[in-house]
Homo-oligomer: A and B are copies of this chain.
Amino acid sequence: METRELRYFVAVAEELHFSRAARRLGIAQPPLSRAIRQLERRLGVTLLERDSRGVALTPAGSVLLREGRAALDAVAAADRRTRRAGQAANGGAGLVLATKAGASSELLPKLLDAYAAEPDAVPVEVLLCGIGEQERLLRDGRADVALLHRPFDSITGLDSEELVTEQQVAILPAGHPLAHRPHLRMAEVEALPDLPMPRWPRSDGSYPPGPGPEVRDHAQLLQLVALGRTSVVLPESCRSLLRPDVAAVPVLDAPSVTTVIAWPPHSRSRALAGLVRTATRC
């Protein structure tokens, strides 16, 4: 199976429409139809059910969609990491660290400073990314290592070390009746009709249904809290970047959040090992 065929199939499976997929791929529709048919013939499996008014995935097709995406990510990772390894010889960046914009705002500078002081440190590029993007960045080679937050982020398929665990606090508008309570319970925060919980994007980019506002990053979120439109439960380290017009109240029964440093398996370069070692010590 060639990556070209996988790219073509993934495009069709995502669009469920040959002509749109062909446009996306920058080719005409007939060669795309032919390529998919040929792929089906070689695999001995029908991947798509075509009737008029559309295309649907067969069970085998959805297996190939999932596995094919993973394979394409692995190929992209090989490409990117090789390019960077070649340029690193000429003094390019050593490591790319991915972290959610707005999270770990205390830990990150401490880690970077401590690592930079190590004798064999290499330059670290920091990649600020949206919610849930980090796993993808690691898998397709755009990043070498990431700071993740369990249980929000999944670490399946990654190697990791725990760094810190912290309690969570509810972020409320400063003037809200609950803002002066010493502590809260999850049930109280979730039941606020005037402050519905925000909705985060799912891994496919869509949003779950519900009353709360759609948010993509922390700055956006804090602004919505200050405006009295939503409330949210976050790890307490976020206190350091709170605006004065919002309040933080501990939530006793919220799950505690563990910050972990994670990297793709089988990629322990010397530089990465040094960064991980530094991280676990500070």
Contact = CB atoms under 8 A, between A and B. Distances in A.
Interface of A: 1-4, 6, 43-47, 58-60, 63-64, 66-68, 70-71, 73-75, 77-79, 81-83, 85-89, 141, 156-159, 264-267
A78 B82 contact: no
Contacts of A60: 82, 85-86, 89
B43 A82 contact: yes
Given A3-B2, A45-B85, A82-B64, A157 B75 contact: no
Identical copies of this chain, number:
2
13 contacts: A2-B2, A3-B3, A6-B78, A43-B79, A45-B86, A46-B86, A58-B89, A60-B85, A63-B82, A67-B82, A156-B159, A156-B265, A157-B265
Chain B CB count within 10 A is highest, among A70, A71, A78, A81, for A78
Given A45-B87, A58-B86, A67-B81, 5 more contacts: A2-B4, A67-B82, A71-B74, A157-B158, A157-B159
A75 B16 CA distance: 22
A141 B66 CA distance: 13
B45 A83 contact: yes
Contacts of A58: 86, 89
Given A3-B1, A157-B157, A157-B266, A59 B74 contact: no
Contacts of A141: 67
A83 B44 contact: yes
Contacts of A6: 75, 78
Given A2-B4, A86-B44, A157-B158, A78 B59 contact: no
Given A43-B83, A45-B83, A60-B85, A70 B2 contact: no
Across the A-B interface, give the 10 residue pairs with the lowest CB-CB distance, nearest first: A45-B86, A157-B265, A67-B78, A156-B265, A71-B74, A60-B86, A60-B85, A74-B74, A63-B85, A64-B82
A282 to B, nearest CB: 24
Nearest to A71: B74
A63 B64 CA distance: 27
A229 B265 CA distance: 37
Contacts of A264: 157
Contacts of A158: 157
Q: Most chain-B Cβ atoms within 10 A of its Cβ — which of A60, A89, A158, A264?
A: A60
A157 B82 CA distance: 21
